[in-house]
Amino acid sequence: MSDSIRLSLDGSVAIITLARPDKLNALDAGMIAALADAAARIDADAAVRAAIITGEGKGFCAGGDIAAWGGLAPLEMWRTWTRAGHRAFDALARLRVPLVAALNGHALGGGLELAGTADIRIAEAQAKFGMPETGIAMVPGWSGTQRLVRRFGAGVVRRLALTGEIVTAERALALGLVDEVVATGGALERAREVALRIAARGPAATAIAKQLINAAEGEGDEAATLEGLAGALAAFTEDGAEGVASFREKRAPEYGGR
């Protein structure tokens, strides 16, 4: 893990904290790799039933640190920076458990793309949101034109990406960028409440519901979702149990069609 990414457990809730407040939690290569690692750890821990992602200090995430990518050659930027970001963000969006974003401050560019990986977004009143990339002759690189369009709609993303408009939390709520606005300082506590409510529900049903919603949205591999659910169903039938038992006992199976 990077020193700028912390992963902690609060009972059945995992909390990812971006901890580079002096840079408004702008992401560097180490942080991107650590986000992917955090997602893998959460997925591997059966005790985790919900997760939160938040930032330390006054901002949620100011996007990608220009100092980290500004000097990269085009092919190197594609090979390392862009692809690594996609891997990390995809892993977060496709977590086994629901992810709640506690947006304690501005989420701009890559920060908004990161917020977009969450299933539920709770913003503090002072937070602002936008996609300023075209202002420096860049385009969104971590699925801002793809995942954000699927989740927020092409009209909203088109407006933010093409004009560079920065919107307030209340305007973000009206546009559907966030699900709830709370007072300054209240995002993490509210996110905990939501995460604990999720964690109290049936964990298998919650995970399956999330996977199905993701598949309907085009987030992830729909074929893998279908095969995974079908395989689980077949394995828990009486025939499934008989098939395994007959294999272990080296005998012909006796299927009953149940």
Note whether residue 257 is domain-resident.
Answer: no
Instruction: pLDDT band for 82, please (50, 70, 90 cuts).
Output: confident
Q: What is the pLDDT of residue 54?
A: 98
Q: 240: Cβ–Cβ under 8 A, 6 or more apart, which residues?
A: 234
Residue 46 in domain: yes
Residue 170 is part of a domain; what is its CATH number?
A: 3.90.226.10
Q: Do 210 and 125 share a domain, yes or no?
A: no
For residues 141 and 161, membership in a common domain is answered with yes
Percent residues over pLDDT 90 in the chain: 73
Any domain includes 255 = no
pLDDT of residue 70: 65
- DSSP-assigned beta bridge partners for residue 129: 107, 167
Rounded CA-CA distance 105/130 in Å is 12
Does 10 share its domain with 92?
A: yes
Is the model's pLDDT at 4 over the cut of 80?
yes
Listed range (2-11, 168-177, 185-194) with the worst mean pLDDT? 2-11
Total structural domains in the chain?
2
Domain-ending residue, one of 183, 199, 215 = 199
Q: Is residue 81 part of a domain?
A: yes
Co-location of 102 and 227 in the same domain: no
**What confidence tens digit (pLDDT) does each residue in 204-223 have?**
999 999 999 999 988 876 77
191 plus 242 within the same structural domain:
no
Catalytically active residues are 113, 133
Which contiguous run of DSSP H or E holds residue 227? helix 222-235
Confidence band of 1 (pLDDT split at 50, 70, 90):
low
123-159 burial code (b ≥16 CB/10 A, e <16)? bbeebbbbbbbeeeeeebbbbbbbbbbebbeeebbee
Q: What is the mean pLDDT of residues 216-231?
A: 78
Angle at Cα 201 formed by Cα 43 and Cα 89, nearest 5°? Answer: 30
Residue percentage of the chain with pLDDT more than 70: 97
Q: Which domain holds residue 226?
A: 203-249
**Do 95 and 148 fall into the same domain?**
yes
